[in-house]
Amino acid sequence: MRSNYFRNTAQVLFMKEIIYSSHLIFRLKLREIPYDLPKIILLESNEHYFDKQTKKRIAIKSVDFKNELRDMAIIYNETENQIILITIHPLKKYQKFSRINSGRWQKL
């Protein structure tokens, strides 16, 4: 069961305009990632972080990618009215753990 924080966060995300950057669109084509996947990750993820180094937000979700269950991350900026999806990439197995433990990624 989701907490009220996640329920309220999802409601706010649904109300904002979601924009795909040109870089994200290029990466989707290059990596052969389905076009709707970044939006699905953003809206369905239970893992949202703030990257202290890049000052960007990150959403992570486990998805079936190229016949393998992988953690996929989308990097995004959020304004009052918009969410700009910047890029997407599969995470290496140690990457999430290491960035959380180092304090670089802070849970939202």
On whether the pTM is more than 0.85, the answer is no
Tens-digit pLDDT profile for residues 89-108: 999 989 999 999 999 999 99
Where do the structural domains in the chain lie, given as residue ranges?
A: 4-107
Q: In the chain, what percentage of residues exceed pLDDT 90?
A: 78
Tell me the C-alpha to C-alpha distance, in Å, between residue 22 and each of 27, 61, 77: 9, 22, 14
The CATH number of the structural domain formed by 4-107 is 3.30.2310
CA–CA separation, 87 vs 80, rounded Å? 20
β-strand partners of 106:
50
From CA 107, how far away is CA 91, in angstroms rounded?
17
